[in-house]
Amino acid sequence: MKPTSANALFTPSTLLLASLCALGLAAPQAKLDINHASVQQLEVLPGVGPRFAAQIYRARPFKNASDFEHRLPRVPTTLLKHLEGLVSFH
């Protein structure tokens, strides 16, 4: 299906942000702070289920994306790239 101007706005990133804003967990244009998010907040991220969210939670804190990738080596590169614009490491 060819994207139209209406449905082009609904990417996984925008849907995640809209969900977080609706739940009161993020302000518009905010990234989810992976070092302070709850397991339930981590589960909202695309590709992150309960087990992986718990693994992230236990492995914290992370200095940056490289540290995250190094300490969680089984995470697919495609998932890391997908999360890159959605999370921060503050």
What's the pLDDT band for 85 if we cut at 50, 70, 90?
A: confident
What is the per-residue pLDDT across 23-47, written as a single tens digit (0 to 9) for each? 766 555 678 999 999 999 999 998 8
What does the pLDDT read at residue 54? Answer: 95
Each residue's pLDDT tens digit, 48-60: 999 999 999 999 9
pLDDT-based confidence at residue 17 (cuts at 50, 70, 90): low
Residue 82 in contact with residue 46, Cβ under 8 Å? Answer: yes
DSSP assignment letter at 72: S
**Dihedral angle computed from the Cα positions of residues 90, 75, 47 and 31, in that order, rounded to the nearest 10 degrees:** 10
Instruction: Enumerate the domain spans of the chain.
Output: 7-88
